[in-house]
Amino acid sequence: MPAPGSEAGPDSAMTPDDADIEKTRALFDEFLMRDFVDTVTSDTLTLRFLLKNPAGFGITDYEVNWGELGVYPTAAELERDREAIEEFGSFDREMLTKEQKESYDIYAYLISLYETSLDTYMLYDPLTGANGFHAAIPVVMSEYRFYSRADIEEYLLLTEQFGLLMDSHIEYQKERSRLGLFMSDQAADEVIKACDAFTADKDRNIFLGSFEDRVGDVSGLSESEREECIKRNLELFETAVVPAYERLSKAMKTLKGSGVNSGGLARFNKGKEYYRNELLSMGISRSPEELISDCDALLQEYISAFNFLLYSNQRIMEEYDSRLTPDNSAADIVDYLKKKSEADFPALPAQVGYSLYTIDEAVRAALSPGFYFMPPLDDYARNSIYYNPDYFVTDPDYMFFLFAHEGYPGHLLQRVSVLASRLPEWRKILQFKAYTEGYAQYAQYYSYAYTGADPILSAVRRLDNEMDLLLSMRLDLGIHYEGWTPNHMREYLQNNLPYEFPQEAARAYYDFIVRNPLQPIPYYGGVMEIRYLYDRYSSLMGGAFSERQFHEELLKYGAAPFSLLREWMDEALLDSYGENRAAA
């Protein structure tokens, strides 16, 4: 297999003619399209969320199911993967177009992670984190769009099979327990609490209300047909969904106590290898050691800047806790941000809209305060943003920045920019979390400039928020990569923070990070990577630098590893401005 960036293909001694080049390019496009189809048809939920009209992509024959539900990848899955890797190795990179070379390099990057991913497979826990499977799946199902009666029937069949899906997660947790990899007791308690909350109020569950709303939007159904669908969904909710959550709760109560590690991933066999590979899977270009060094330096830099700005201005100290953002409703915030940031970020593509939804009470406690729901590739004009309205009462400033993150100029702009582009479909479904979440977090911090508040006060409050997330990232690296104990963490806090961190609070913080491995990494790690790109791009552009041009350039490639984004952005500058700009 030719290495990414290699100067010659397997037949470098012969000069390929135009026919060979065109054939290779056509075959490579076919290869990526097959990979795209294999991915979107891996299960019905994935298919229906990525494509509104599968037939438009040549997909007309598929089974309605939850996909492969075994604990481990099947032999057939592994064989397909390795056959694809072997076929990929037959392509000569130098015969491809510029855009195809980008796709080639991403594919090669993913292949480089494959074997380690298999070797550390069971270290992944889908039930932990801010949006664990058990908490997220009800919201995901509530976003299952109905365009016809056939879509409703598919949904009901999936709901009927819901117990199989949940049982697969139970079996996976049992295997993790057998291997000594089960979660901590605190993490198990959180899963149990979320399951019990979900089944406590059956009458107002999100599975029911959202279904009735969506069925009501399907044209061509008679009233009796709507009532029949609603009745069937209620029956399936009671006979398939609720018992599945009850089984998961019971299983977690049984497995609780079998976790042998109350610390981070580093204390598991191959835990550090898993951590390194996860960073690369997110698209982060720096090693854990480099990130640790960068975090330590940045933390001290931010503390100094924060203290200087805060204590050099008495008025800022007095107004520190005052309301920072305008008093806008949820419906107005995104529009406000679009107007304020139009000079710095590209506009949304024409006809793109969005709807705001409150997170159902039954799952609020187990989910993050808000999230953006990606639209299908072929229906990107309709976007959904979910939020917890309770935060408008307790922390309205937080909601302003949340909508910058999830809406505009964050995920909403990021995602539709890709879907409206001419990138191949395969590129449009790629997920490199440090790019996606890092960009949205970067946009969130950028929006502090749009509050209308005193610039110094905005800067101080942004630094405060950044320090919290940066510290979380550093502690995650310490606990999950360096193997810190609670004492190690307390020592780090004592030596690096200008204030006392209470011992009880430090222990609670430690346990939270143990339960949520790698959670802050894509957010602040991605911010750091984007700022590295920003600094490089602005330095190379000099007086010709434009904030909007940088953001357009960053968004046009879609999700990709940052090491490749840097290469592509350098090449774009070289093509546009010559070697004197890009030869840094």
- At 520-551, the pLDDT tens digits run 999 999 999 999 999 999 998 989 999 999 99
Q: Is 308 contained in some domain?
A: no
How does residue 366 score in pLDDT terms, banded at 50, 70 and 90?
low
What are the residues whose beta carbons fall under 8 Å from the beta carbon of 460, sequence distance 6 or more? 306, 309, 310, 316, 320
Write the DSSP string, 129-161.
Answer: STT-HHHHHHHHHHT---SSHHHHHHHHHHHHT
- Radius of gyration (Cα) for the chain, nearest Å? 25
pTM of the model: 0.91
State the burial class of residue 292 (Cβ atoms within 10 Å of its Cβ: 0-12, 13-18, 19+): middle
Mean pLDDT (whole number) for 570-574: 88
> Which H helix or E strand runs over 353?
strand 353-358
Domain termination residue (choose one: 241, 260, 279): 260
Q: Dihedral of the CA atoms 93, 98, 102, 105 (nearest 10)?
A: 20
User: Between 390 and 237, whose confidence is greater?
Assistant: 237
Secondary-structure breakdown of the chain: helix, strand, coil percentages, each rounded to the nearest 5:
65, 5, 30
Nearest to 66 by CA among 240, 281, 191, 226: 240
Number of domains into which the chain is organized: 2
Q: Is 141 contained in some domain?
A: yes
- Percent of the chain scoring above 70 in pLDDT: 95
Same domain (yes/no): 111, 143: no
How does residue 244 score in pLDDT terms, banded at 50, 70 and 90?
very high
Residues counted in the chain: 584
User: Between 427 and 210, whose confidence is greater?
Assistant: 427
Answer for the pair 124, 172: CB distance below 8 angstroms, yes or no: no
Same domain (yes/no): 112, 45: yes
Q: Is 110 contained in some domain?
A: yes
Q: Is 441 contained in some domain?
A: no
What are the residues whose beta carbons fall under 8 Å from the beta carbon of 220, sequence distance 6 or more? 148, 149
What are the residues whose beta carbons fall under 8 Å from the beta carbon of 86, sequence distance 6 or more? none
Same domain (yes/no): 172, 201: yes
**4, pLDDT greater than 60:** no
- At 28-58, the pLDDT tens digits run 999 999 999 999 999 999 999 999 999 999 9
Answer for the pair 303, 296: CB distance below 8 angstroms, yes or no: no
Mean pLDDT (whole number) for 495-517: 92
- At 60-73, the pLDDT tens digits run 989 999 999 999 99
Mean pLDDT (whole number) for 147-166: 96
Mean pLDDT (whole number) for 281-308: 97
State the burial class of residue 402 (Cβ atoms within 10 Å of its Cβ: 0-12, 13-18, 19+): buried
Q: Is 172 contained in some domain?
A: yes
Same domain (yes/no): 90, 182: no
Residue 13, number of CB atoms within 10 A of its CB: 6
- At 7-24, the pLDDT tens digits run 444 444 456 788 999 999
CA 12 distance to own-chain centroid: 40
* The pair of three-digit structure tokens given for residue 511, joined into one six-digit string: 């346990």
CA distance 561 to 522: 12
pLDDT at res. 14: 54
CA distance 500 to 40: 51
CA distance 555 to 440: 11
* The pair of three-digit structure tokens given for residue 503, joined into one six-digit string: 């011992």
Q: Is 36 contained in some domain?
A: yes
* The pair of three-digit structure tokens given for residue 294, joined into one six-digit string: 């960068």
CA 304 distance to own-chain centroid: 32
pLDDT at res. 47: 96
Residue 379, number of CB atoms within 10 A of its CB: 14
Same domain (yes/no): 221, 152: yes
In single-letter form, the type of residue at position 370 comes to G
pLDDT at res. 117: 97
CA distance 107 to 112: 9
How does residue 5 score in pLDDT terms, banded at 50, 70 and 90?
very low
**389, pLDDT greater than 60:** yes
Same domain (yes/no): 47, 109: yes
Residue 42's domain comprises 18-119
Answer for the pair 198, 245: CB distance below 8 angstroms, yes or no: yes
Domain termination residue (choose one: 212, 239, 260): 260
Q: Is 41 contained in some domain?
A: yes
Same domain (yes/no): 140, 237: yes
Same domain (yes/no): 137, 254: yes
**582, pLDDT greater than 90:** no
Same domain (yes/no): 241, 200: yes
* The pair of three-digit structure tokens given for residue 516, joined into one six-digit string: 């949520």
Nearest to 264 by CA among 494, 511, 509, 521: 511
Same domain (yes/no): 87, 142: no
pLDDT at res. 9: 46
Same domain (yes/no): 75, 158: no
Query: What does the mean pLDDT of the chain come to?
Result: 92
Answer for the pair 207, 238: CB distance below 8 angstroms, yes or no: no
**254, pLDDT greater than 70:** yes
User: Between 12 and 470, whose confidence is greater?
Assistant: 470
Please tell me the number of Cα atoms within 13 Å of 328 on its side-chain side: 19
Domain termination residue (choose one: 260, 287, 315): 260
Phi, psi at 370, each rounded to 5°: -170, 160
Same domain (yes/no): 229, 194: yes
Of 198-212, 312-326, 429-443, the poorest mean pLDDT is in 198-212
Q: Is 144 contained in some domain?
A: yes
pLDDT at res. 578: 60
pLDDT at res. 10: 44
